[in-house]
Chains A and B, each alone.
Chain A
Amino acid sequence: MSDHVDLIIIGAGPAGMSAAIAASRQGLSIVVLDEQARPGGQIWRNVEQRRDGALSTVLGRDYAAGAELVDRFRACPADYRAEASVWHIDEGQGTGGGKVFYLKDHQARVLEGRCILLATGAQERPPAFPGWTLPGVMGIGAAQVTLKSGGQIPDGPVWIAGCGPLAYLYAMQLRRAGGTIAGFLDTTPPGRLLPNFFAFLQAMLFQPAPMLKGVAWQLALRCTVPWVPHVAALTADGGDRLKTLTYTTTGGKPVTVEAAHLLVHEGIVPGTHPTLMLGCEQAWSDAQDCFAPKLDEWGETSLPGIFVAGDAGGIAGAQAARLRGELAAVAIMRRLKPSAVAERDAVKRLRSRLSRIIAGRAFLDRYFRPREAACLPPDDTVICRCEGVTAAQIRALTTNGLGDPNMVKAFTRAGMGPCQGRQCGYGVARLTAEITGTHAATVGLYRARPPLKPITLGELAVLDKQRTEA
């Protein structure tokens, strides 16, 4: 009892919306499935509701600018289904495209598409330091969600630890929203600028506006909040919730301070669960220190008819996501409607704009590359929060032949909880590599097993009733 359409787009962020607008011009039948109640993705979460409010001022001009794309998306003929949570994708077994299983109004539904575009975005690089699971410690991504959706900020002074554009942006937004920053523990290692000076100039040349903005944020923060550079190690303490945190700078002694809120951020990585589950080939990106699906120049994965656009295919930001969404739409149109002509010049323009953004990106990747310690935490660090597995337990598995995170999973239960290994995937890969003397790139991540999002027994049971009564 499943519907058939030409194209299913999963995710209504910059990439998904741009692809939908472009592909619907050619008359393809398109369904866009998105988890949120309104279009915009993480970057423009809730932008429609906020367009005139005071919060727009807090969140900045780039945020408000998202409303324009959301308007065009709303106006395009693609069938947009909000609050639709995709929990499984079945590839078409070589025929291209596949079946998408999703949940809407507590009903499991199935939709078949000749092509599928995954525009499912990124996730924060999971934190791993002693005490990160204490209440009071939170990722900046999650903190920003509460700011965008409810205008909420933490109550009382906030410590921020980490590096990367999102950490500085959030700190600025927090201050504009009336929040207090107790201190900013910058984890960028020392000596990153000089070796990357050429990349810095290149970024200034190709992406002057965002680069200058980033520099301005940093300067503003350094002048107005207690700023601790070169933080190399972090520990959160406090028994049942965060009370103190201890940081050590490169070459320095540990300093302990009182803390009620600690927000952490070590950059973002592509969300690889959907492509891993589908069995799309993955490649290690040395530049971004993470896995990303292998894609051709249009964003097609190793499986025919399954495309990825936006940060899910490699971190490059919202502007690049829009361009990659449009490029994927061109390739999908060529496949499904060979009669439609895509303008060669338009494709050329898209590519040249995209290559400028990518060229500017190299500096951010190198300058904010997470320090080694962020990836290889001390023994008492919880790696798998769901099952309470520590780094020590994983390191203890020094039996022969143990070179596979799936085996670590089987033997320790790490990765078996409700987050399905999204939080501990990289941690376990790195520890496995450490044990076996290899690199996370060769070790790989856990196999991703469906469902992508938890679904209740009752919701799944309905699919069977539909079949027998159909």
Chain B
Amino acid sequence: MTRTESDILVIGGGLHGLSVALQLLRAGRSVTILEESWVGRHASGASAAGVRTMFRPVSELPVSVEAAGMWHRIEDLVGDTCGFHANGQLRVAERDTDLISLENRVRETRSAGFKHEEMIDRQTLRRLAPAIAPHCVGALYVCTDGAADPHRTLRAFRVAVLAAGGLICEGTSVTGADHNDTGWKLLCGDRIFRAPVVVNAAGAWAGKIAAMLGDDIPLGVKASMMMVTERVAPFLDPVVSAVGRTLSFKQSEQGTLVIGGGLQGRADVEAQRSFVDFERLARGARAATELFPAVRNIRIVRTWAGIEATTSDHQPVIGASTRSPGVFHVFGFSGHGFQLVPVTGLILRDLIIDTKTSRQIASFAPDRLGVRSAA
């Protein structure tokens, strides 16, 4: 028999939902995850899995820097390395004017008290990324950043949640919600799940779920495209992006090149399908070959687009609902949520168990986005 009563129901079995569930389980709460298809089916499984503090909005840095520390000890959290390697992240300058904009960025983060970003010169760039095109003049660098393996991360969090006694109901779509004195009642077809607390971690579908739970949060949808190549001999350790380009370029542990950066495909949210737009993806291929001329003849074997929620200020929604009792939101990571995964669990644990957090999340408040005007 499936348990239908829990302390907390988490809607959405992506990485954030799993991370939240894990922390609550370890704090002694019973947690059930309701997942419409299967764990990591959408954005989490389609992620480039960059672990990046570099170049994030300053308001995200306090939690992002904490998350970075957690990634370095991720095995303590989930019993697996998640394929994480701190091989650094680089944001390359191709022109002298790019260097100036990067220097301004470093000044900004330093004045906010963060010292992890540094400028490196042409020679150091060449040493860190020997295959980089000769015209590149320098870069912004964070040596403690890196990348993980998205599928291994999903598997590790899934296994950890199950081991902690969590219940993961896959193929379980929430179709309705009802609230009374005893808490929330979620309808999933002909099944009913009850709990005093509901966490909305439904990614691209979080707006719909928020509405069911009594909140109106305006959200957009992203379908960031990725491509992966055949395996080649190792030639690059850090993850590389570049000023003025939509590109993220790295070599995975398996030797494949994983190329993304946020070029947009097309999403059909209702049908849960996404489509690659090759005429746009070509821009990413062009950026990759201009920064790394030697990759021209490497074959692309797979491309995809992951569906995710995006907010108007590109910062996530993390916090308690001000309208609906017992409802907590965690979504809208706007294409850069992977790195924050370990810390969102802690934030939600604070909010749900202690009803407050000392972590800096004011700029993620659900209400900041305003109520959508009735169109």
Contacts and interface: CB of A to CB of B under 8 A. Distances in A.
Contact of B282 (A407, A449, A454, A461): A461
A467 B279 contact: yes
B26 interface: no
Contacts of B276: 88, 449-450
Interface stretch (A206-214, A294-302, A307-315, A397-405): A397-405
B82 to A, nearest CB: 13
Given A110-B279, A410-B151, A456-B298, A400 B168 contact: yes
A413 B83 CA distance: 14
B38 interface: yes
A372 interface: no
A142 interface: no
A401 B166 CA distance: 14
Contacts, number: 114
A418 B275 contact: no
A465 interface: yes
Contacts of B40: 410
Q: Which residue among B158, B230, B301 has the maximum number of chain A CB atoms within 10 Å of its CB?
A: B301
Which size class do B's interface residues fall under? 35 or more
Which size class do A's interface residues fall under? 35 or more
Given A407-B38, A449-B303, A457 B295 contact: yes
A457 B170 contact: no
Interface string A86-105: 00101000000000010000
Contacts of A416: 228, 301-302
Contact of B299 (A411, A454, A464): A454
B282 A462 contact: yes
Interface stretch (B70-78, B181-189, B283-291): B283-291
B300 A465 contact: no
A279 B282 contact: no
Contacts of B290: 461
Contacts of B155: 411
A88 B299 contact: no
B304 interface: yes
Interface string A432-470: 000000000000000001110011111011111101000
Contacts of A420: 301-302
Contacts of A464: 279, 282-283, 285-286
Contacts of B278: 88, 90, 101, 450-451, 460, 463
Given A399-B158, A463-B282, 16 more contacts: A88-B278, A101-B278, A401-B38, A401-B169, A401-B170, A401-B171, A407-B39, A410-B151, A418-B301, A456-B296, A457-B288, A457-B296, A460-B285, A461-B288, A463-B278, A464-B279
18 contacts: A88-B276, A90-B277, A90-B278, A402-B38, A404-B37, A417-B230, A418-B301, A449-B302, A450-B276, A451-B278, A454-B230, A454-B301, A457-B299, A458-B285, A458-B296, A461-B286, A461-B296, A464-B286
